[in-house]
Amino acid sequence: MTLRGNGSFTAVAWPAGLDDATGPLDQRRGSGRWELSDGGDYEFDVSLSFDEISDYDIDPGSYGDGFDISGSRDDLRLYAWVGDPDDCTNMSTFTSEPPA
């Protein structure tokens, strides 16, 4: 997952859990726009709006997903659940990498 400062993102092997996807998860590619939200009830802290998903037919902006945020500015983590959020074994965690 790459979140860019201009509000765009690209994803590899995400989103997971698409029952009607036609290809393997590890080859899935997606892109679209992201934004921070206020993290209110039933909202993601980071909202994703996909414009395309390589193996899943969508209209631009019609599929949404997102992450919640934890950690600190120096140790920021994005996380999301695939499936039942009560089952923490299905949690995906993303950490930042230094710019190349």
Confidence category of residue 99, pLDDT binned at 50, 70, 90: low
Task: Read off the pLDDT of residues 37-94 as tens digits, 9 standing for 90 and up.
Answer: 876 777 889 999 999 999 999 999 899 999 888 888 888 888 887 777 677 677 777 7
96 vs 66: which has the higher pLDDT: 66
pLDDT at residue 19 greater than cutoff 90: no
50 C-beta neighbours (distance < 10 Å), count: 23
* 8 Å CB contact between 85 and 56: no
User: Which one-letter DSSP state was computed for residue 82?
Assistant: S
What is the model's pLDDT at position 75? 83
